[in-house]
Amino acid sequence: MAVLRTEALERRFGGLVAVHDLTFELAENEILGIIGPNGAGKTTAINAISGLYMPTAGRIFLGEEDITYSPPHVRCHLGIGRTFQLVHPLVDLTARENIMVGALFGQHRSLRQARKTAEEIAAQLGLERIDRSVSDLTVLEIKKLEIGRALASDPKVLFLDEVMAGLNSDETKAALDAVRGIRDQGVAICVVEHVMSVIRDLTDRVIVLDGGTIIAEGPYSKVSADPRVIAAYLGEEE
Amino acid sequence: MTLFRTLRRWQLLLLLASLGVPIVLMLWKPYVLIEGLQRGGLYAVIALPMALILGVVGIINLAHGEFMMLGAYFAYWMGVYAGLDPLVAMIPAVVAFALLGAITYVLTIRRALKAPELNQLLLTFGMAMVGTEFANLMWTSQPLKPHLSYVYSSVALGKLRFGTYAFIYTAAAIVLLVLLQLFLRKTRLGRAALAVGQNPRGARLVGIDVNRTYLLIFSVSIALVGALGAMFLTRHSVFPSAGSPFTMKSFCLIAMAGIGNLPGVVWGGFGLGIAEALVSSFRGYGGWADVVFFAVLVAVIMGKSYRRQTA
Amino acid sequence: MRMTRYLPYVLGAALAALFPLFSGAYLEQVAVGMLIYLTLALSWDMLLRSGQLGFGTAGFFGLGSYAAILLFLNVGVHPFVSIAFGGVVAGVVALLVGLAVLRLRGMYFAITTLALAGIFAVVLRNFPGLTGGSEGRMLPNCIYAGNTTKIYWLVLALAVFTIVISEVFERTRIRLALTSIRNDERVAKSSGVNVFKYLVFVFAVTSAIQGLAGGTYAHVFGFVSPEGSFSANFLLLPLAMALLGGVHSTWGPVVGGLVLGALSEYLKLQIPYGHLLVYGAIIVVVTLFLPQGLMGTVRAWWRRSHVTRGAQ
Amino acid sequence: AEEGPIKLGAVLPLADITGAQGSKAMQLAVDEINAAGGVLGRQLELIIVDDESKAEKGAAAIDKLATVDNVDVFIGGMSSGVHLGELPALKKYERVTVWIGAASSLVEQAVVGLDWYFHIHPWDYLQGASYVEGWAALQAEYPLIKIHKAFWAYEEGAFGTSSYQGSLVAFSNWENVGESFKSALLGGGDYRAVLRHAQEFDPDLFIWVGYAADALPIMEQAAEIGFTPPLFVGSPPGWPADFGTSPLADGVIAYGMWAPSIKDVSPVSQHFWDAYIAKYNEQPATYFAPLGYTNIYVVAEAIARAGTLDKEALITALEATNYASPLGETLTFTPSNLIQHQGFRNQKILQWQNGAQQVLWPFEYATALPAYPFTGP
Amino acid sequence: MLAVAKLNHYYGKAHVLRDVSLDVGTESVGVFGPNGAGKTTLVHAIVGLVRPRSGDVTFDGRSLLRLPTHEVIRSGVALVPQERELFPYMSVRANLESGAAYIPGARKDLPAALQASFEMFPILKVRARQLAGTLSGGEQRMLAIARAMMSSPKLLILDEPSLGLQPSLVTELFHKVRNLGERSAILMAEQNVRQSLKAVGRGYVIENGQIALEGPSDELLRNDHVRRAYLGL
Ligand SMILES: Nc1ncnc2c1ncn2[C@@H]1O[C@H](COP(=O)(O)OP(=O)(O)OP(=O)(O)O)[C@@H](O)[C@H]1O
Ligand SMILES: Nc1ncnc2c1ncn2[C@@H]1O[C@H](COP(=O)(O)OP(=O)(O)OP(=O)(O)O)[C@@H](O)[C@H]1O
Ligand SMILES: [Mg+2]
Ligand SMILES: [Mg+2]
């Protein structure tokens, strides 16, 4: 059964249709990859699903519930977690508190529980410097923080928008394991990445967006061979 | 789609209103239009230099009005000692206040730019206090104003008799707007100012001397407001707290126009001036003019935010 | 363990409560003024912790003053009840207004709250029958008949109440909510923070505190008037105190309020003519040399010495 | 405690010219009295505390003067708003208080029944009544002057409104129209709407109640729309420095308690004028200067009369005050509507003529004949 | 052309650059290293955005260390910052123009440079009138790269330029870097070690703020440590 489903989702900015007629499903325990050229509408789709932008048309269902017009915090309560492509950690909080925000408000834990949750999640993600101020953290740690905060709200669906960009191969490997670990907890995951090795190794299924619509769908091996995808997105590797 | 269409209709209505209201007023209460434009011109012209440094480069200057007040005193004493008419004194005022602005910038603002943004509030609040008290100690709180016979010149058109001089504020607002727009749009320095205001680090990385740009814009703003103080003095008295209401008025206008929108400041000034003049034109309702000022302000700000959210 | 943690606070509060024992009426009266401003400074800061720059402090202060005095004069309730009423009115008005204006951010919010304060004052002035118009209304007898010690305790209670609320804000989830909103609203929303609810909540609470302060002030000094009760002083001075002390904390505005309050009184006695010049100059210099505010500087220094010791 | 100086505690807004000059004039009087041997063989000591025009600062000032300095008498005062905040403190100490400011009748209501409270400045309604008297006298004396219709332009704050409302009752035999404007002191400065309404009303007498900052701009804007009522009256608490030099000023009627020209008819005033200029090298520009001077002399003479600082004796001695003041008239304390100890009740009707304020009424102090009607530039 | 000598930098007490030295001639040089190694700090030190505690940076024989950033840029250095640093409320076109407008000598070639940018990233031409702040992540990256190239710098520094770019553009970018490297100097910090090693002639590996390895790219490609830690082999 689908955890998340969109029907003909659309989002415009003035005359520009950033997401157009987007219909897809996310199954339980699935890791779905969304790829597509820059400006294809991937981030916009995540924003529309997580509620930061109201869709201009279409519907979104989380399980049975229609969340098309719910405000973002309600969607978070209902089980949508996400990270941000351009990370903006909460700089006046420590790393631990950053994660606690998700636990406190996403799931309405008590402070004490939230603190514990934050510790567990940090341990799970290998985030060590948990009581440091965010300004001392490296990009890698900040990305872990992003995931941790989303995870702390105990989502049913987790959107990861280019969290692995900028990691080297060692770090990527660790991140892949972490994401799989999250999936194993029963979270359906949707990853947006431009690093094909990640998509290849991680995803069960891939959707390719271009110009706001799906141009291809299927396992990575299949879509990566699709000439349209190669032309629009992958290019010829020399 | 429907949204798009209603927006259009909405804009059309606005356009009609902005043309229709003046025409109706012109026929019904010509004074309102004339005096509203004059009064609004004063608001607008004094807000423009603040819009330049607040809206463009993002420095909040709570001492704005105090610089204007000092400019007015400067012009007054130029009149006493050098026999200069305040309008002529605008020229030395520009020079003197550019210098004053530069010194102020180097000694204070420059250091505060690295600090949290709100510190500028405190810093310029302290500066405003120093300015007011300095004037108070130097010249007491007794108002000063030179006599200038041209400021009450008027023309009579049939039964309609109105003052002509105060259009100088209207004209100054428009001229200053045009000059500033040209400066910001057409000159490299102006564009650099915009860039600095949006992202100082980015500006450095394209080769802009950020510090010099700040210095320049701050001095220009102070020079302008100093000279406008001289112009203010032609029709108003100067006293130590003469400037502070204009700081707040200017803030209001800039917020109403939207940050960085200089034409909006001028049109907003005119609009508020006319609205105030309209309310005061009903005998006994002058006390509500402030409410109208604030209500229009709030309505515009709210309306814009609403449009931003739906668009 | 718990006991010792709160010991400094209890001691501080006791010391403040016993202040009248070793001060005279004069210092009490000065303290009354300082504590009122301190309350305003702290409440202003509490809203600022959500990233919202409020310029409505004087407006809600004045609103609370009027509500308290008018209820007291027309209905004849106990002064405490009327002060509470002042707080409630300010809070409720803030709640209603907040539902609309809290969609605004940054300078737009600041100016709109400033405009609202202006509207309150003008509207009250234009209903002379009820409000006494421009002249305002006067109390035949002030609270405690001017007994400064009792007044001091009353105002101290107000300040302590505000400090406690502020600490509640600091020690519960509220701090994380407000900080996340201030740092990145999108992140806050997507992490489940009901941003609007929290903003309305703090706006109403802080405005209610300002209303309480206004009601108290009006009862202590025995009058309300548009010029007196809505004076820009009740906006600008608290703002300066909070900023000078250091924002986003309880103790910054408290220290700022005490320091600036004491400084202004001291300078006034030392330099009868022109003390405001020196006062302003000190504000400028402190801003330049202690950009983090007094408490921020102390905290940074503390952290530095702490970290050094930790490293050794 | 019979040793050391007699302490007078004054509270004034020192950043304002009224408080600044008032306090200087007080010091002048104290120095004069001390130079002449003091009072009861003791020197006077004047302790001035700034109220910063804030109620809470004023109240703290009273407490300081009472408890730290332990003053014998409270003097001073300017704004009514600040004074309302000071009253609780004053009532607590119940020391003899001789106040020169605070004209609002709201204050009068607050000091009902206080036998130690002496108020020198006329209440707002007293001022109104005195102008009624003045205009009646002027109309009787100069039949050319006829007033049936009056237009009141008053600043919208407490000062303008209370003056207007205080006068309205008094002038019930005129047809009055009032309208408020925003004073330049508070960010206003455009009077044309009000002036046009006045022009339409075509009054015999036009009066504006505002501040010094409004004075010249109002004249200019009236000239701009060609508004020249036969009587153009201004009633600010002080005039701007250059008002007299403006050609627009000529013929403008001023309400006030004092004008420099009073020195021509009053030796006390002349003495005060000369002494003030000699000491401070500036001219007294507000009537708070002679008021401050008066404040000291009234208190000092009363102490001398009482022969003691005993409160009851001092009150009795103050009640017997009969001081020829630099403001022209002789000051005595008589009951007003609500209180027992009201000092001045009269204002003067002055007129700007050739750059100076001349007294038109009361006729005892008249320094010039009225110029009528006002013709504008 | 560019010589960095014994650079040391601290954030508070953290020693993030330790005696870092490197050279860039007319060639492309890569800087690799894990997150937090100090790559960004190094390039910031070169352009004067941070002031190192000791060491020296010389460019064309002139020390850059005392120069303010804008002078460094005007002397012919351009940086594609990791954080993009665009002007969010300016149009794409105005952002591009700003890349050349303040560099003496680059101004007259502005139209041609603009043309070249649009050729390199055609989407920017489509978005020319859109505000930079509303661009997608990848589009912003393109704009940052294009803006830096607008001035035809003598030395181009790229801090993780491939971040967020679609694969085809990454390939193109590295291709471009290789071509450009034949004419002007390039210093590129990258995580995508595999592809970028093909684009640069030489490389440095920074770890914990120190140069751990350096050498020609083919040598690095063969190095065990590099293969294990950065190529995932
Ligand atoms: N402003 C700062 N204040 C304190 N520490 C900082 C600051 N900037 C960076 N650091 C720290 O300095 C170290 C080096 O950071 P730098 O950004 O130079 O690394 P990097 O190699 O560019 O890494 P990345 O791949 O994450 O971009 C990191 O540990 C980081 O946490
Ligand atoms: N607020 C906005 N106003 C106008 N256009 C916008 C806005 N936000 C996004 N766009 C445009 O919508 C398109 C889709 O953007 P989006 O961020 O969804 O792309 P993306 O697929 O995430 O790309 P990338 O891989 O580069 O992150 C882009 O072309 C972008 O310029
Ligand atoms: Mg994206
Ligand atoms: Mg980096």
User: What is the tens place of the pLDDT at every residue in D276-287?
Assistant: 999 999 999 999
Task: Identify the band that residue A172 occupies on the pLDDT scale cut at 50, 70 and 90.
Answer: confident
- Higher pLDDT: D64 or B10? It is D64
Q: How far, in Å, CA of C200 to CA of C193, rounded?
A: 13
Which residues in chain B have Cβ-Cβ distances shorter than 8 Å to D377?
149, 152
Question: With contacts defined as CB-CB under 8 Å, which chain A residues touch C180?
Answer: 90, 93, 101
DSSP codes of every residue in D7-49: EEEEEE-TTSHHHHHHHHHHHHHHHHHHHTT-BTTB-EEEEEE
The number of domains in chain C is: 1
Q: Report the alpha-carbon distance of residue D303 to residue E59 in Å, rounded.
A: 88
C181 touches chain A (CB under 8 A): no
The rounded percent of chain D whose pLDDT value lies above 90 is: 86
Is residue D10 left, alpha or beta, with left meaning phi > 0 and alpha meaning psi from -120 to 50? beta
Q: Is C1 domain-assigned?
A: no
pLDDT of res. B129? 95
Domain that holds residue B37: 31-310
Residues of B in contact with C292 (CB under 8 A): 115-116
Tell me how far apart the alpha carbons of residues D181 and D216 are, in angstroms, rounded to a whole number: 15
pLDDT score of B4 more than 60 = no
pLDDT at B309: 60
Instruction: Name the more confident of A10 and B9.
Output: A10
Cα distance between residue D289 and residue D283, in whole Å: 10
Residue A218 has pLDDT above 80, yes or no: yes
The answer to whether the peptide bond before residue A71 is cis (omega within 30 degrees of 0) is: no
**B129 in contact with chain E, both atoms CB, cutoff 8 A:** no
Mean pLDDT for all residues in chain A: 92
Helix (H, G, I), strand (E, B) or coil at D202: coil
> Which CATH fold topology does E1-76+153-233 show?
Rossmann fold (3.40.50)
Mean pLDDT, chain B, integer: 90
Q: Does E38 sit in the ligand 1 pocket, CB within 6 Å? A: yes
> Given A38, A42, A141, which is nearest E165 (Cβ)?
A38
Residue B54 burial (CB < 10 Å; 0-12/13-18/19+)? Answer: buried
| Angle in degrees, 0-180, between the axes of helices D55-63 and C25-48, rounded to the nearest 10 | 150
Q: Confirm or reject: Cβ of A13 under 6 Å from ligand 2.
A: yes
Query: For residue B5, what pLDDT band results from cuts at 50, 70 and 90?
Result: low
- Specify if C267 maps to a domain: no
- Residue D2's pLDDT is 61
Predicted confidence (pLDDT) per residue in D107-138, tens digit: 999 999 999 999 999 998 999 889 999 999 99
Beta strand residue intervals within chain C, DSSP E:
137-138, 223-224
Q: Which of D84, D106, D109 sits opposite C221 (nearest CB)?
A: D84
Which residues does C108 contact at the CB level (< 8 Å), separation at least 6?
B255, B301, B305
Contacts of E among chains (3+ CB pairs under 8 A): A, B
Q: Could A136 and E14 be called an inter-chain contact, meaning their C-beta atoms sit closer than 8 Å? A: yes
User: Who has greater pLDDT, C209 or B110?
Assistant: C209
User: Is E16 a pocket residue for ligand 1 (Cβ < 6 Å)?
Assistant: yes
pLDDT of D157-198, one tens digit each?
A: 888 988 888 888 888 889 999 999 999 999 899 999 999 999
* Residue E30 to residue C149: CA distance in whole angstroms: 74
Sheet with E14-24, strands from edge to edge, namely: E14-24, E2-11, E54-59, E62-63
What is the rounded CA–CA span in Å between residue D251 and residue E159?
A: 79
Task: Give domain status of residue B26, yes or no.
Answer: no
Q: Which two tokens stand for residue B300?
A: 């515009």
* Digit-coded pLDDT (tens) for D325-366: 999 999 999 999 999 999 999 899 999 999 999 999 999 889
- Is C17 contained in some domain? no
Of D67, D70, D52, D44, nearest in space to D11 by CA: D52
In this prediction, residue B127 carries a pLDDT of 96
Chain B hits for D180, CB-CB cut-off 8 Å, are 286-287
Residue E141 has pLDDT above 60, yes or no: yes
Nearest to A194 by CA among E191, D350, D2, D158: E191
Element (H, E) at D267: helix D267-280
**Radius of gyration of chain B from its Cα atoms, rounded to whole angstroms:** 20
Q: Do E169 and A235 touch (CB under 8 A)?
A: yes
Nearest-by-Cβ selection for E232 from A44, A85, A170: A170
For the cut 70, the answer to whether the pLDDT of residue D64 exceeds it is yes
CB contact under 8 A, D89 and C148: yes
Q: Provide the pairing of β-strand E2-11 with C137-138.
A: unpaired
Predicted local distance difference test score (pLDDT) of residue B6: 54
In percent, the amount of chain D with pLDDT more than 70 equals: 99
Over residues E182-211, the mean pLDDT reads: 91
Q: Would an 8 Å CB–CB cutoff place B309 in contact with chain C? A: yes
User: Cα angle at D102 between C38 and D344, to 5 degrees?
Assistant: 165
Mention every residue, 6+ apart, whose C-beta is less than 8 A from residue D156: B286, B287, C125, C134, D180, D181, D182, D183
Distances (CA, A) of B306 to B301, C52, D261: 9, 18, 63
What would the pLDDT profile of A15-69 be if each residue is shown by its tens digit?
Answer: 899 999 999 999 999 999 999 999 999 999 999 999 999 999 999 999 999 999 9
Q: pLDDT, tens digit, for every residue of D216-255?
A: 999 999 999 999 999 999 999 889 988 999 999 999 999 9
User: What confidence tier does C307 reach under pLDDT thresholds 50, 70, 90?
Assistant: low
pLDDT at position E85: 94
- Once rounded to an integer, what is the mean pLDDT over residues E49-54? 93
DSSP H or E segment with residue B171: helix B167-186
Distance CA E40, CA E83 (A): 10
Give residue ranges of D with CB < 8 Å to any B CB. 15-17, 20, 156, 177, 179-182, 184-187, 189-190, 192-194, 196-197, 211-217, 220-221, 223-226, 238, 240-242, 245-248, 285-286, 377
Whether residue B162 lies within 8 A of chain C, CB to CB, comes out as no
**Residue B73 maps to which CATH number?**
1.10.3470
DSSP chain A: -EEEEEEEEEEEETTEEEEEEEEEEEETT-EEEEE-STTSSHHHHHHHHHTSS--SEEEEEETTEE-TT--HHHHHHHTEEE--SS----TTSBHHHHHHHIIIIIS---HHHHHHHHHHHHHHHT---TTSBGGG--HHHHHHHHHHHHHHT--SEEEEESTTTT--HHHHHHHHHHHHHHHHTT-EEEEE-S-HHHHHHH-SEEEEEETTEEEEEE-HHHHTT-HHHIIIII----
Using a CB–CB cutoff of 8 Å, tell me whether B213 touches chain C. no
Closest CA relative to residue A148, chosen from A128, A116, A125: A125
| Ligand 2 within 6 A of CB of A85 | yes
* pLDDT tens-place string over residues D15-44: 999 999 999 999 999 999 999 999 999 999
Q: Which ligand is the nearest neighbour of the Cα of A47?
A: 2
Per the structure, the count of domains in chain B is: 1
Is C155 a member of any domain?
Answer: yes
**Residue at C294 is within a domain:** no
Rg over alpha carbons for chain A, rounded to the nearest Å, is 17
Positive or negative, the CA dihedral B266, B271, B272, B273 is positive
> Does ipTM exceed 0.90?
yes
How far apart (Å, rounded) are the C-alpha atoms in residues D49 and D12? 7
**C-alpha to C-alpha distance for C293 and C312, rounded to whole angstroms:** 29
Cross-strand bridge partners of residue D75: D10, D98
Confidence tier at B116 by pLDDT (50, 70, 90): confident
Domain carrying residue C138: 25-231
Contact E148, E79 (CB under 8 A): yes
What is the rounded distance in angstroms from the CA atom of residue C73 to the CA atom of residue A86?
Answer: 58
Distance CA D57, CA D85 (A): 9
Residue D202 has pLDDT above 50, yes or no: yes
Residue E145 backbone phi and psi in degrees, to 5: -65, -45
For residue D371, how many other CB atoms are within 10 A of its CB?
17
Q: Has residue B7 been placed in a domain? A: no
Peptide bond into A155 cis (omega under 30): no
pLDDT of residue C2 exceeding 80, the answer is no
Q: Kindly identify which residue of chain D lies nearest to residue B248, measuring between CA atoms.
A: D187
pLDDT digits (tens, 9 = 90+) for C277-289: 999 999 999 999 9
What was the pLDDT predicted at B156? 87
Which ligand 1 atom lies nearest to the CA of residue E42?
A: 18
Mutate to test the pocket of ligand 1, among E4, E35, E82 (most ligand atoms within 8 A of CB): E35
Q: Which residue of B has its CA nearest to D249?
A: B147
Amino acid at B113: L
Q: Per the domain annotation, does B24 fall within a domain?
A: no
* pLDDT over 50 (residue B311): no
B112 pLDDT exceeds 90? no
In chain B, residues with a C-beta closer than 8 Å to the C-beta of C114 are 248, 251-252
List the structure tokens of E25. 């001639």
